[in-house]
Amino acid sequence: YSKVIESVKKTGKCVIVGDAVERFLAERDVESRVLFTRRYFLGESLQSLAERYEKNPKILAVKMARLRNQLKKYLEKEGFYL
């Protein structure tokens, strides 16, 4: 909450982070959107995702780390200070 207030003070923008996350996900491929949503919004484990999509859990972990880093850069570009 304090980071949101700080961001609003610095930028003068009162934008909901969820809207920015939705825009970020809309720019990703379908697989990335599904994996990100299932992992971070639905709380599905990496092991479960790996089994569901027949992927190596380590590969998925790397993919999720990259998506998180991309999201961080995107939010910073949008004016959110993390």
- Give pTM, 2 decimals: 0.76
pLDDT digits (tens, 9 = 90+) for 38-67: 999 899 999 999 999 999 999 999 999 999
CA dihedral 65, 37, 35, 32 (to 10 degrees): -80
Q: How many Cβ atoms sit within 10 Å of the Cβ of residue 28?
A: 15
- Of the pLDDT bands very low, low, confident and very high (cuts 50, 70, 90), residue 79 is confident
Predicted confidence at residue 82, as pLDDT, reads 67
Tens-place pLDDT, residues 9-49 = 666 555 577 788 889 999 999 999 999 999 998 999 999 99
* Res. 1 pLDDT band, cuts 50 70 90: very low
